[in-house]
Amino acid sequence: MRRHFLRDDDVTPAEQAEILDLAARLKADRFAASPLAGPKTVALIFDKPTLRTQTSFTVGVAELQGAPFLVDGTKAQIGTRESVPDVARIIGRQVAAIVWRTYAQSDLETMAEYAGVPVVNALTDDFHPCQILADLLTIAEHKGRLAGLTMTYVGDGANNMAHSYLLGGATAGMHVRIATPAAYQPDAGILADAARIAETTGGSVEVLTDTTAAAAGADVILTDTWVSMGQEDEKSARVEAFAGYTVDAALMAQAAPEAIFLHCLPAYRGYEVTSEVLDGPQSVVWDEAENRLHAQKAVLAWLLEKNKEGSDA
């Protein structure tokens, strides 16, 4: 069966560790792998704004000796001008892999069904699994391990980052705590999936409304914007709903003394995080942003290898 990376639990705990290990090796030796040499092309399609993802995938594909092919989603109009299955078959017949940032997870799944090549989730409304791999790489670099650590996410519990932290953190054997208002709880199905994974890895998942309790003794504190791409019309209601969910120095003081702070960026200083924390000594956000490159190169290299193995079988 063809392998894709559409959500964090598309890989087993052992496979996640394998990808993170490959990412660390590619960080130490950036040109150690060239699975796209030939050259092969990777389509990068963006239906939503992007900076880090476009940069890191473009550089990453080039460093894997392939050619990145950037598709402007606003021009391609996938799903409106042409159906997702049609686009999948047109692009899929010409490239080695497809990386897509879009809205509906179901559209990404349809792309994977029809593309005939591996498809990678570069963010949907529901998940952002590449970001979580970069975060896990960053945490492992700073803490020396993942399993057994407590990772607390403060903010919108119903967004893509919260969902991916639940699944990806549980896969890594971490204790994942989500602090979010009652009206922004994670999707119940995703939470149940994460709890099931945590049972097998020794991790745990917990959703709280109290930020202080959630941050208590945590090894890692993370947050994300309160207003995700596509939710711009809800900005004022969200700013009101998330009052009290800012990661500030007082909240960081509840965490373990050596706790680190991560944010997928872009950050809105004064809303989900204060400048003092974002720009402070516990923040590792620039390592995190760089690690998108290494993590995504590893995902692409790993997927291409896995699919080669699959076709040989």
Smallest gap from residue 44 Cβ to ligand NVA (A): 15
Catalytic, 177? Answer: no
Region of 36-44, 170-178, 206-214, 222-230 interacting with ligand NVA (CB under 6 A): 222-230
Q: With binding defined as CB under 6 A, does residue 224 bind ligand NVA?
A: yes
Sign of CA dihedral 244, 250, 251, 254: negative
Q: With binding defined as CB under 6 A, does residue 180 bind ligand NVA?
A: no
Q: Name the residue type at position 34.
A: S
On the CB side of 153, CA atoms within 13 Å amount to 34
Long-range contacts of 281-286 (CB under 8 A, 24+ apart): 282/252, 284/138, 284/142, 284/260, 285/261
Region of 36-44, 107-115, 157-165, 241-249 interacting with ligand NVA (CB under 6 A): 157-165
Region of 30-38, 71-79, 202-210, 223-231 interacting with ligand NVA (CB under 6 A): 223-231
Smallest gap from residue 29 Cβ to ligand NVA (A): 28
Smallest gap from residue 99 Cβ to ligand NVA (A): 15
Q: What are phi and psi of 38, to 5 degrees?
A: 160, -45
Answer yes or no: are the C-beta atoms of 156 and 180 closer than 8 Å: yes
- Was 149 annotated as part of a binding site? no
First to last CA, the chain: 10
Identify the active-site residue in 3, 7, 9, 131: 131
Q: What are phi and psi of 303, to 5 degrees?
A: -65, -45
- According to CB under 6 A, which one of 45, 161, 273, 298 is a site residue for ligand NVA? 161
Which tokens in the block code for residue 70?
């950037």
Q: With binding defined as CB under 6 A, does residue 112 bind ligand NVA?
A: no
Catalytic, 231? Answer: no
Q: In what order do the strands lie in the sheet with 150-154?
A: 204-208, 175-179, 150-154, 220-223, 260-263
- Was 229 annotated as part of a binding site? yes
Smallest gap from residue 30 Cβ to ligand NVA (A): 24
Report the binding-site residues: 77, 101, 128-131, 160, 224, 228-229, 264-265, 292
Residues annotated as part of the active site: 101, 128, 131, 224, 264, 292
Contacts with ligand NVA by CB under 6 A lie at 123, 128, 159-161, 224-225, 228-229, 264
